[in-house]
Amino acid sequence: MAKKIQFVETVLRDANQSLIATRLPFEKFEPMLETIDKAGYYAAECWGGATFDVCLRYLNEDPWERLRKIRAKMPNTKLQMLLRGQNVLGYSHYPDDFVKLFVQKAVENGIDVIRIFDALNDVKNMKVAMDATVKAGAIASGTISYTSSPVHTLAKYVEMVKELKEMGASTICIKDMSGIIGPQEIYDLVSAIKDAVDLPVDLHTHCTTGLAYPVYMKAVEAGVDIIDTAISPFSGGTSQPATETMAYALRQLGYQVDLDDACTTKMANYFKTIRDEFIADGTLIPKALATDTQCLTYQIPGGMLSNLMTQLKQMNALDRLEEVMTETPKVRADMGYPPLVTPTSQMVGVQAVNNVLAGERYKRVSKEIKAYCRGEYGETPAPINPEIQKMILGDEQPLTTRYADSLPPIVEPTRQKLGGLAKSDEDVLSYIAFPNLAEKFFEERKAKEENICAYSIVEA
Ligand code: CO
């Protein structure tokens, strides 16, 4: 019997985030939700990542309400979100009570699959979220943040996967955020994982370097069960490979693909017009759709490279770019080879710039790098260079325990503080995640409600 390959559609989350900075409002994708629901996907990735932040910051949407509205229109498809482990949806670690309640409420509001990762692949930072997901009855997808370095061996990834299974992972996800994994590497990695654990494996990559299509083919050959794709008008470049293209290619090779072509065609036609609107207003820039192979030479993800250039330009030092690019892998090695993903990519990049421009390495150190050296982001893949760590910390001793163990509970004090401004636990969670944005949102909501109220009294 032909092996079945399942698909996760990313147009609502990662494709939206990677191509148009997550600016897709609910109204623009609402007309397609019933079609996506009928198309036969394993899951629709639709929440988490940057969607929460952008809903509050730019779209004046309550992210929780968005989720409930998607759920109502998509009763048959699993809804998936991306969660940064102990960072939840933010950039530093939160206390455990917040992580637990956030996961519980995400599931209550409609999430079925939570893809949980940590920027350092430190499973201690994933455990609370994994436990909460299992407890809430959702699917915990234990995720590897893929990177390559002398310490990131197949054996190490396999060890991590076994730990994730132990923690209750129902699926394993390989997350290649920069699109740097090659076809032989993915073949070896998937084979090793499949040998080690009996769990479905999901592959997530980006087309940034152009490797994604051959990588998906080799991954399927090695036994991958689920692939992440985006409907064609939102595919390619910094986004995922196209859904219809992968379905076509896999069927030709004899695999079973249960997608309904009439549905994907309808989706493609619809999202083509949406994409053209975003091209017309300048939100979708041509560079996002291009192939960028520099990353393969410099080992610096595409997004990070453009950040470095912007930063140097602002400092009138664009002529030092070559030096900064040489310095970046050295800083990464000093820091114990972290995968370059939010927030480690920014931290390493800024430090490389500091090292070059100050004319002396680690003379200027950001507070994030200091916190990193203290162990506040977790255990690094390899030890931090001890001399540099000592230089940065002085007499201060790095943590030997999990940082979140030192953080006091935050939910109850915040609930007390907000009083009537928060109408639900979801509001309290939004506030803890993004206090300024949430407060502004609550106040605008209140004003709107009072207006409606006054109006209805007049009407009556
Ligand atoms: Co991604």
Taking the centre of ligand 1 as the mean of its atom positions, its distance from the CA of residue 16, in whole angstroms, is 10
**Alpha-carbon gap, residue 294 to 323, rounded angstroms:** 15
pLDDT score at 91: 84
- Neighbour-count burial of 137, counting CB atoms closer than 10 A to its CB (0-12 exposed, 13-18 middle, 19+ buried): exposed
User: Is residue 375 pLDDT above 80, yes or no?
Assistant: yes
pLDDT score at 454: 56
Taking the centre of ligand 1 as the mean of its atom positions, its distance from the CA of residue 418, in whole angstroms, is 34
pLDDT score at 457: 52
Find out whether the peptide bond into 408 is cis, omega within 30 degrees of 0.
no
**To the nearest whole number, what is the mean pLDDT of the chain?**
94
Taking the centre of ligand 1 as the mean of its atom positions, its distance from the CA of residue 134, in whole angstroms, is 23
Taking the centre of ligand 1 as the mean of its atom positions, its distance from the CA of residue 18, in whole angstroms, is 8
Smallest CA-to-CA distance from 35 within 273, 248, 227, 264 is with: 264
Stretch 32-54: mean pLDDT, rounded?
Answer: 97
The pTM for the full model equals 0.94
Taking the centre of ligand 1 as the mean of its atom positions, its distance from the CA of residue 174, in whole angstroms, is 10
Stretch 232-246: mean pLDDT, rounded?
Answer: 97
Quick: pLDDT tens for 183-209.
999 999 999 999 999 999 999 999 999
Taking the centre of ligand 1 as the mean of its atom positions, its distance from the CA of residue 212, in whole angstroms, is 12
Taking the centre of ligand 1 as the mean of its atom positions, its distance from the CA of residue 230, in whole angstroms, is 11
Quick: pLDDT tens for 162-184.
999 999 999 999 999 989 999 99
Extract the tokens encoding 331.
Answer: 């800083």
Partners of 44 in beta bridges? 9, 79
Judge contact between 120 and 338, C-beta under 8 A.
yes
User: Is residue 107 pLDDT above 50, yes or no?
Assistant: yes
pLDDT score at 247: 98
Stretch 88-112: mean pLDDT, rounded?
Answer: 96
Helix (H) or strand (E) holding 205: strand 201-205
Taking the centre of ligand 1 as the mean of its atom positions, its distance from the CA of residue 262, in whole angstroms, is 27
User: Is residue 28 pLDDT above 90, yes or no?
Assistant: yes
Judge contact between 433 and 88, C-beta under 8 A.
yes
Domain boundaries, the chain: 6-280, 293-404, 410-459
Quick: pLDDT tens for 293-327.
887 877 677 677 777 888 899 999 999 999 999 99
DSSP string for residues in 24-55: --HHHHGGGHHHHHHTT-SEEEEEETTHHHHH
Taking the centre of ligand 1 as the mean of its atom positions, its distance from the CA of residue 177, in whole angstroms, is 5
pLDDT score at 92: 86
User: Is residue 460 pLDDT above 50, yes or no?
Assistant: no
Least confident of 84-93, 361-370, 372-381: 84-93
Taking the centre of ligand 1 as the mean of its atom positions, its distance from the CA of residue 205, in whole angstroms, is 6
Taking the centre of ligand 1 as the mean of its atom positions, its distance from the CA of residue 307, in whole angstroms, is 18
User: Is residue 459 pLDDT above 60, yes or no?
Assistant: no
Taking the centre of ligand 1 as the mean of its atom positions, its distance from the CA of residue 104, in whole angstroms, is 23
Smallest CA-to-CA distance from 177 within 306, 30, 301, 15 is with: 301
Extract the tokens encoding 77.
Answer: 């498809």
Judge contact between 151 and 337, C-beta under 8 A.
yes
User: What is the CATH topology of the domain spanning 6-280?
Assistant: TIM Barrel (3.20.20)
CA max distance for the chain: 75
CATH number of the domain at 293-404, please? 1.10.472.90
pLDDT score at 295: 79
Stretch 22-43: mean pLDDT, rounded?
Answer: 98
The count of C-alpha atoms lying within 13 angstroms of the C-alpha of 407, restricted to the half-sphere facing its C-beta, is: 17
The percentage of the chain sitting over the pLDDT mark of 90, rounded to a whole number, equals 87
pLDDT score at 97: 98
- 243-275 as b/e: b if 16+ CB within 10 A: bbebbebbeeeeeebebeeebbebbbebbeebb
DSSP 277: H
Taking the centre of ligand 1 as the mean of its atom positions, its distance from the CA of residue 14, in whole angstroms, is 6
Quick: pLDDT tens for 241-280.
999 999 999 999 999 999 999 999 999 999 999 999 999 9
pLDDT score at 453: 61
Q: How far is CA 173 from CA 142, 212, 213, 245, 456, in A?
A: 6, 15, 17, 21, 51
Taking the centre of ligand 1 as the mean of its atom positions, its distance from the CA of residue 25, in whole angstroms, is 19
Taking the centre of ligand 1 as the mean of its atom positions, its distance from the CA of residue 272, in whole angstroms, is 21
Smallest CA-to-CA distance from 204 within 176, 238, 180, 244 is with: 176
Taking the centre of ligand 1 as the mean of its atom positions, its distance from the CA of residue 178, in whole angstroms, is 8
Taking the centre of ligand 1 as the mean of its atom positions, its distance from the CA of residue 416, in whole angstroms, is 37
Taking the centre of ligand 1 as the mean of its atom positions, its distance from the CA of residue 139, in whole angstroms, is 19
**Alpha-carbon gap, residue 213 to 182, rounded angstroms:** 10
Judge contact between 152 and 176, C-beta under 8 A.
no
Judge contact between 402 and 125, C-beta under 8 A.
yes
Extract the tokens encoding 242.
Answer: 């196209």
Taking the centre of ligand 1 as the mean of its atom positions, its distance from the CA of residue 147, in whole angstroms, is 13
> For residue 236, what are the contacts with CB-CB under 8 A and spacing of at least 6?
207, 242, 289
